[in-house]
Amino acid sequence: MERIIEHALVPGTFDPITFGHIDVVRRAARMFPRVTVAVAASIGKNGVGTAFTLDERVELARAALAGIPGVEIAPFTGLLVDFAREVDAGAVVKGLRAMTDFEYELQQADLNYRLDSELESVFIMSAPQLGYLSSSVVRQIASLGGDVSAFVPPVVIEALRVRYAR
């Protein structure tokens, strides 16, 4: 008999966490009794690193996701499949915005399957009003002094204000 998956990971860099990420986490929490938001170290992401440290990203995620039952936040380094084994998670949940996301995430799911065939991949389509949203767009707008209040919670707005203070 197949086991029912009780624990899922929602991995990402969350640099910073956005309303799109929060939407995926809320929806994952409706499907799984326990959800861990796995904040990746992502050392050298895109060749430049992250705007926020791992500790800062974990704290922003904790603040932004406070109050969603069954959700915890944890940092991780290394392979996602190793972290999933370490915390006994049976699924990885990823949000998809566009076909380009699908192609990338399909490759990742295939690699994860090859590394651990017991780890399921679950894809959640982004809500239509959030399909354009990405952390990189938020960082770019904030770095130029633009208003990001429609994209991120207040705790992130403040962190971006401090990060990009002129």
User: pLDDT of 10-31, one tens digit each?
Assistant: 999 999 999 999 999 999 999 9
Q: Which of 42, 97, 121, 163 is catalytic?
A: 97
1/9 Cα distance (integer angstroms): 23
27/147 Cα distance (integer angstroms): 26
The Cα angle at residue 101 between residues 100 and 107, in degrees rounded to 5: 95
Domains of the chain in start order, with CATH, are 7-130 (3.40.50.620)
Q: What is the pTM of this model?
A: 0.93
113/96 Cα distance (integer angstroms): 18
Catalytic residue list contains 139: no
List the structure tokens of 74.
Answer: 């944890």
Catalytic residue list contains 94: no
Say which residue the tokens 């204000």 belong to.
161
User: pLDDT of 40-94, one tens digit each?
Assistant: 998 766 567 899 999 999 999 999 999 999 999 999 999 999 999 999 999 999 9
Q: Which of 26, 45, 85, 163 is catalytic?
A: 45
User: pLDDT of 99-138, one tens digit each?
Assistant: 778 999 999 999 999 999 999 999 999 999 998 999 999 9
Q: Which amino acid is located at 48 in the chain? A: V
Sign of CA dihedral 55, 58, 61, 62: negative
Contact 60, 52 (CB under 8 A): yes
111/150 Cα distance (integer angstroms): 35
Q: Which of 94, 126, 135, 139 is catalytic?
A: 135
Catalytic residue list contains 21: yes
46/48 Cα distance (integer angstroms): 6
